Amino acid sequence: MPQKQRKQGNERVQLLWGGRFKKPLAEEALRFSSSFSVDKRLWKQDILGSIAHAVMLGETGIISASEAKALVKGLLALMRDIEAGKVELEGPDEDIHSFVERKLREYVGEVAGKLHTARSRNDQVVTDFRLWCRDAVKQLAEAILKVQQALVEQAEQHIDTLLPGMTHLQHAQPVRLAHHLLAHFWALQRDLERLKDLLPRLNTSPLGAAALAGSGLPIDPELTARLLGFEKTAQNSMDAVSDRDFACELVFICALTMVHLSRLAEEIVLWSTPEFGFVTLDDAWCTGSSIMPQKRNPDIAELVRGKAALVIGALTQLLTLLKGLPLTYNRDLQEDKGIVFNAVDTTLACLSAMSQLVATATFNADRMRQALVRDFSTATDLADYLVRKGVPFREAHRIVGQLVLHLSELGKGLEDATLDDLRLFSDKFNGDALAVLQPEQSVERRKELAGTAKSSVVKQLRRARAEMKRTVIWLQRFPTISPDLKQICP
């Protein structure tokens, strides 16, 4: 009787582990614990990992060459049928690993039972996950590069466009628009460098760690690692199945990239207000109102700003998921994938939207130049003038401050000042002082430390282009499955 029940249970829910149980798993417990709806996205990684594993089992003689061949053939057929939509990713399975094994049995029969030799779902799932994250790193880098491209192209159009640079959102000093846009470029460049830096840690193979203690069979983990394009193998089987640092780092990079996008988005929202009027968004990338016919709203930028909250939340979710876990595998870890998938999906969608939003936007050079009129943003230049005449900077600062107060009480700007106005506050002012008040001159004096002078911005643009080229080369050499494995499954 117990025998029969057990069999019934195993058949009904297709579990990989029914043997020691008298009763079937409750349907609700299966539904509660199944991750298939989320981890079905790993189907290709799971099949590739399984092919590499089967090849290794054959090469090491753990299974016979003909058994390995049968497994590989079956896995390939399954892969093609899923790709062609002939096999749906559906079923009562606990997870993608159970699904693949169940389907494989339909293709190759009982030999399917040999695939899981010397492997546990614990090393299998994290192998799949690392392969998925590796692909995500590549996609994120490509998407960041597109935003950088849009920024650089706009910057090239606006080397001579001047606007008030701000601190505290108050007019501070004139800057070139190219300089402002490139500031966002370098933030994204650091995100790219973080992705590059993550890759060797991420691209480490845990396959062969089995459940936690390593395999007792004479496996060849170096071979599976090489076939799958991993750079190296794990140092410790227990760490291999429980480590999710790579996922945390990836989500952190997504979160910080989103913070960068969100800051850019916030500026676009501000700049597209009529009060600023610095940017006009393309019709294709802004939205209207259901009641107010005149509206053009920067919803895409607002959503990028909003979605940053979700990705920041994902980082907290993932770190919190891990913080209380003893070694090694714990089922809590199953929740890691949904978190990472959401973070990466959201970041990719935002990068894509922002690259197009920036590429199609029109920056209003006249409005920006207008904003520099009577905004006192060349006051520092006047103080520097006095410094050049030997006045201590603190004293120069006080003199120009008094001049600004005086002029603003008269409703005048610095550019309206006469030499007499200046000399009311210091006799060090000469005729040449009036020229330093021109924003065009102000920016040109700032040649040092990547300042906003033309020569400096042009140099910066050249460096930005060189960085983009380096990223393209890095992407061309991006790790992928080995030629041997590609030959098996083109």
Q: Which residues are catalytic?
A: 168, 289
Interface segment toward ligand ARG; rule CB under 6 A; list 148-156, 224-232, 329-337, 449-457: 329-337
Beta bridge partners of 165: 173
Cα(first)–Cα(last) distance of the chain, in Å?
49
CA dist list (Å): 475 to 179, 192, 369: 27, 11, 40
**Taking the complex as a whole, how short is the minimal distance between the CB of residue 331 and ligand ARG, in angstroms?**
6
Is 121 a residue that touches ligand ARG (CB under 6 A)?
yes
Write the binding mask 282 to 321 for ligand ARG: x where contact by CB under 6 A, - elsewhere.
----------------------------------------
CB 250 within 8 A of CB 198: yes
Residue (272 or 334) nearer to ligand ARG, CB: 334
Q: Which of residues 83-112 bind ligand ARG (CB under 6 A)?
A: 95
Q: By three-state DSSP, how is residue 363 classified?
A: strand
**Taking the complex as a whole, how short is the minimal distance between the CB of residue 125 and ligand ARG, in angstroms?**
4
Cβ neighbours for 143, distance < 8 A, ≥ 6 positions apart: 347, 348, 351, 352, 355
Number of residues in contact with ligand ARG, rule: CB under 6 A? 10
Q: Which of residues 20-49 bind ligand ARG (CB under 6 A)?
A: 35, 39
Interface segment toward ligand ARG; rule CB under 6 A; list 118-126, 138-146, 149-157, 193-201: 118-126
Q: Find the binder of ligand ARG among 154, 262, 334, 346 (CB under 6 A).
A: 334
Residue (35 or 364) nearer to ligand ARG, CB: 35
**Taking the complex as a whole, how short is the minimal distance between the CB of residue 112 and ligand ARG, in angstroms?**
18
The number of angstroms, rounded, from the C-alpha of 161 to the middle of its chain's C-alpha atoms is 30
Interface segment toward ligand ARG; rule CB under 6 A; list 44-52, 62-70, 331-339, 436-444: 331-339
**Phi–psi pair at 191, nearest 5 degrees:** -60, -40
**Taking the complex as a whole, how short is the minimal distance between the CB of residue 49 and ligand ARG, in angstroms?**
13
- How is residue 464 written in tokens? 């930005």
Residue (125 or 436) nearer to ligand ARG, CB: 125
Residue (334 or 456) nearer to ligand ARG, CB: 334
Give the DSSP letter string of 157-226: HTTT-EEEEEETTEEEEEEEHHHHHHHHHHHHHHHHHHHHHHHHHHSEE-TT-TTTT--SS---HHHHHH
CB 148 within 8 A of CB 261: no
Q: Find the binder of ligand ARG among 50, 122, 342, 377 (CB under 6 A).
A: 122
Interface segment toward ligand ARG; rule CB under 6 A; list 58-66, 80-88, 330-338, 479-487: 330-338
Is 329 a residue that touches ligand ARG (CB under 6 A)?
yes
Instruction: Give the position of tokens 């990713």.
Output: 89
CA angle 215, 220, 225 (to 5 degrees): 105
CA dist list (Å): 396 to 186, 379, 431, 475: 34, 10, 17, 52
Q: Could you list the residues that contact ligand ARG (CB under 6 A)?
A: 35, 39, 95, 121-122, 125, 329, 331, 333-334
